[in-house]
């Protein structure tokens, strides 16, 4: 279990990020949550007894990250960081251009690097801190129509391995979680755009069925806890068997 730690969570207003925030405050953790739509997390903020502080923020606003680390943190230090923020896109190769690719990399990759750069400073984090990036099984396996998305999720794995080595001097652990298809608003949006046959095919690719956010959150919290103090640079797949077929 995880108790009384101070955690930064991005992508906090939906899906895995929102469920993670809910779990952490129940474990008496203090959470600084970053997202765009405050209305989606307002109820959780109200019931958190000041354990959850929310910042409405666009992560492509790289020059203003001080709002997270100076204004919101206010002289305290983080014990953990979970980068849940990300966007999914299905687009044929013929429709890609550099601007499309940069847009998805800005959120899925570049924001994570910049956040980690700030987080790793001694004035913002305690020694022995834990960092968890959300990748995807698509980072390993690939899928037609998802070149941009798959490329970003592969890039995250490189970030994790390299930074785990670089930050080990402060006893940081840096790991990735790679979920399969999880029932989130992002998935529901995808399913609304494709035919029923394709939805069924996606479900059948997961021997244990598609996942729920509660299938992923416990693995993240394990990596944030002291129970994982000898695990770093790893990519843990939580995919209902998708990747073993």
Q: How far is CA 104 from CA 18, 118, 162, 213, in A?
A: 21, 21, 21, 23
Buried (b) or exposed (e) across 104-143, using 16+ Cβ within 10 A?
bebbbbbbbebbbebbbeeebbbeebbbbbbbbbbbbbee
Write the Ramachandran bin of 211: left for phi over 0, alpha for psi from -120 to 50, otherwise beta: beta
**How far is 9 from 106, CA to CA, in rounded Å?**
17
- Rounded to a whole number, what is the distance in angstroms from the first to the last CA of the chain? 32
149 is catalytic: yes
Residue for token pair 């939906």: 14
How does DSSP classify residue 206? S
Contact 227, 5 (CB under 8 A): no
Q: In whole angstroms, give the CA distance from residue 167 to residue 174.
A: 8
Give the helix/strand (H/E) hosting 239. none
Instruction: Kindly report the length of the chain.
Output: 245
CA distance 157 to 134: 9
Neighbours of 25 (CB within 10 A): 21
Considering 65, 96, 124, 149, which one is annotated as catalytic? 149
Q: Which residues are catalytic?
A: 149
């Amino acid at each position: 279990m995880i108790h009384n730690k101070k955690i930064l969570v991005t992508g906090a207003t939906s899906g895995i990020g929102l469920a993670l925030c809910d779990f952490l405050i129940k474990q008496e953790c203090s959470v600084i949550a970053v997202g765009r739509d405050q209305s989606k997390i307002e109820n959780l903020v109200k019931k958190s007894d000041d354990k959850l502080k929310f910042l409405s923020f666009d992560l492509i606003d790289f020059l203003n990250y001080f709002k997270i680390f100076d204004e919101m943190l206010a002289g305290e230090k983080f014990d953990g960081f979970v980068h849940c923020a990300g966007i999914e896109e299905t687009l044929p190769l013929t429709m890609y251009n550099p601007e499309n690719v940069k847009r998805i990399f800005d959120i899925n990759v570049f924001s994570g690097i910049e956040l980690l750069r700030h987080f790793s400073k001694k004035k913002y984090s305690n020694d022995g801190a834990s960092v968890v990036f959300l990748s995807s099984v698509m980072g390993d396996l690939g899928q037609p129509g998802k070149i941009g998305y798959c490329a970003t999720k592969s890039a995250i794995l490189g970030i994790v391995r390299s930074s785990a080595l670089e930050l080990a001097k402060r006893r940081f652990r840096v790991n990735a979680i790679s979920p399969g298809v999880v029932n989130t608003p992002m998935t529901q949006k995808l399913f609304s755009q494709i035919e029923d046959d394709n939805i069924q095919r996606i479900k059948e690719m997961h021997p244990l069925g598609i996942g729920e956010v509660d299938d992923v959150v416990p693995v993240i919290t394990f990596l944030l806890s002291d129970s994982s103090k000898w695990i770093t640079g790893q990519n843990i797949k939580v995919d209902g068997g998708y990747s073993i077929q």
